[in-house]
Amino acid sequence: MTLTTQFLTMAVMIAGGIYLGAAMDTLKRFEKLYRKRMLMNYTIVISFWLLQAFILFFLLYQANYGELRLYIFLSVLCGYAAYRALFQGIYTRILERMIRMIMAMVRFFLRCFEILIVKPIIVIWNVASAIVLWVSSTLLAGSILMLRVLWWPVRLILRLLWKLLPENMKNYLHTLAGFYVTIKNRIINLSKLWKR
C-alpha cells in the first residue's frame, strides 16, 4: 500500500469517526421515542451498529479495498475524539434546529390539511345533513297536512253515514267497540303480569 493510499485511508477513517460520533448523538437524541419498548430498542440499536459497520467498511473499501490495519482503528477513534472535542456542540445545536424546523413544517402541513380538507368536509357534511333534515321535516309536515286535508271529507262522509245508520246497528257497533276495549285491557293486564 502506497503512502498516499495510507494517508487517504487515515483521512477517510477520521471522517468516518466524526460521522460515527454524529450518528451516535442522533440516535441518542431520538432514544426516548423507542427506549421503553424493549424489542424495538434492541432492534434499532443492533440495526444501527450493523449499518455503521457497513458504512465504515464501505468507506474503507473505497479508500484501500478493505485492508484492515491497526492505524485504521486508531484513525476512527481519533475522528470520534475530534468530533467529541470540536464538533459535538455545533452538531447538536444544528440537529435541534433541524428537528424544530421539521416539526414546524409537519405542524404547518397538518394544519393546512385540516383547514383545506378536513374542515371543508365537516362543513359540507353539516350543511348536507341540515338540508336533508329540513327536506325530510318539510315533507313530513306536508304529508301530515295532506292527510288532514284528505281526512276531512272522509270524516264528514263517515259522520253522515253514522247518522244514516239505524239505531240497532249503532248499538251493535257500540257493543262491539266495548268488547274490543275489554280485550285490549285484558291483554295489557296480562302483559304487565308477565313482566313481573
pLDDT at 153: 86
* pLDDT of the residue at 181: 72
pLDDT along the chain (196 residues), means of 10: 82 93 93 84 92 92 84 92 94 95 96 94 95 93 89 83 74 69 75 69
Handedness of CA 27, 28, 33, 39 (dihedral sign): positive
Give the pLDDT of residue 165.
73
- At residue 173, the pLDDT reads 67
Cell of 193: 303480569
Which residues, 6 or more positions from 76, have their beta carbon under 8 angstroms from its beta carbon? Answer: 13, 14, 16, 17, 20, 56
Give me the pLDDT at residue 1, please: 64
Contacts of 194 (CB under 8 A, 6+ apart): none
pLDDT in tens, 65-95: 878 888 889 999 999 999 999 999 999 999 9
- In this prediction the pTM is 0.60
pLDDT digits (tens, 9 = 90+) for 127-151: 999 999 999 999 999 999 898 888 8
- Which pLDDT belongs to residue 174? 66
